[in-house]
């Protein structure tokens, strides 16, 4: 893992999830559960967890049918400390959203951490956030990702990849693993393990034995 000096956090840091209709449910709900639970703790209570719509409409429906109403939109004046970008089975329309790409590019200049789950990495790639960095995307899609963005050092068969202040993951259930990775960076391994135990994620160690 590579590390670099990070910007100082604001007094009330914001952890933001961007999404638009067609997003994959667990790419958003997994980190929302992890960080939502963390904000109940004194050591993470200063964080505000919000969902930002990638369009002017605040309502979005996931691929699996979950309807959510975002707190803000990418057109609001937002200063973020961490941004997590989810994915969609069909990324073509999302990648055509130039306002979203500009939003990601702008936030990457000041946010302490930028993260993506599954093919959300394509949005980071389109914004140039991953140029020269190690990164991954959905499992099995690494070659296509590498062909699409030759400046990215695509890592194969890796659940989660951390390079400097950017985290990418395979998405789906692995979105939990990525969320805990980010939580550890924002707090500590001890606190991340505490939340893992609280939401009983740690029990998955024995789930498939």
With a CB cutoff of 8 Å and minimum separation 6, the contacts of 144 are: none
Q: How confident is the model at residue 4 (pLDDT cuts 50, 70, 90)?
A: very low
27-43 tens-digit pLDDT: 999 999 999 999 999 99
The pLDDT value given to residue 209: 62
* 183 assigned to some structural domain: yes
Band the pLDDT of 16: cuts 50, 70, 90. confident
Domain that holds residue 72: 14-199
How high does pLDDT run on average in the chain? Answer: 91
How many domains in the chain?
A: 1
65 assigned to some structural domain: yes
204 in a domain, yes or no?
A: no
Residue 125 lies in a domain: yes
CATH label of the domain that carries residue 146: 3.40.50.880
Residue 158 maps to a domain: yes
Structure tokens at 107: 């936030």
pTM comes to 0.91
Question: Does residue 81 fall inside a structural domain?
Answer: yes
Per-residue pLDDT tens digits for 80-125: 999 999 999 989 999 999 999 999 999 999 999 999 999 999 999 9
pLDDT at 204: 85
Does residue 1 fall inside a structural domain?
A: no
3-state secondary structure 97-118: CHHHHHHHHHHHCCCCEEEEEH
Domain for residue 5, yes or no?
A: no
Q: What pLDDT does residue 193 have?
A: 96
């Amino acid at each position: 893992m590579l590390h670099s000096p990070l910007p100082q956090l604001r007094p009330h840091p914001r952890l933001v999830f961007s999404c638009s209709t067609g997003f994959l449910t667990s790419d958003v709900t997994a980190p929302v559960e992890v960080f939502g639970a963390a904000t109940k703790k004194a050591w993470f209570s200063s964080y505000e967890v919000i969902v930002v719509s990638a369009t002017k409409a605040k309502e979005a429906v996931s691929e699996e049918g979950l309807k959510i109403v975002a707190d803000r939109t990418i057109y609001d004046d937002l200063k973020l400390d961490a941004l997590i970008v989810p994915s969609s089975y069909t990324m073509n329309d999302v990648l055509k959203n130039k306002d979203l790409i500009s939003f990601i590019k702008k936030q990457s200049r000041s946010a302490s951490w930028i993260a993506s789950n599954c093919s959300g990495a394509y949005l980071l790639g389109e914004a140039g956030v991953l140029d020269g960095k190690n990164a991954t995307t959905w499992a099995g899609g690494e070659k296509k990702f590498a062909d699409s963005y030759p400046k990215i050092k695509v890592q194969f068969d890796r659940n989660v990849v951390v390079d400097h202040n950017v985290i990418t993951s395979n998405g789906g259930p692995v979105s939990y693993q990525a969320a805990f990775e980010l939580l550890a960076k924002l707090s500590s391994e001890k606190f991340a393990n505490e939340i893992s135990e609280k939401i009983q994620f740690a029990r998955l160690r024995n789930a498939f034995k």
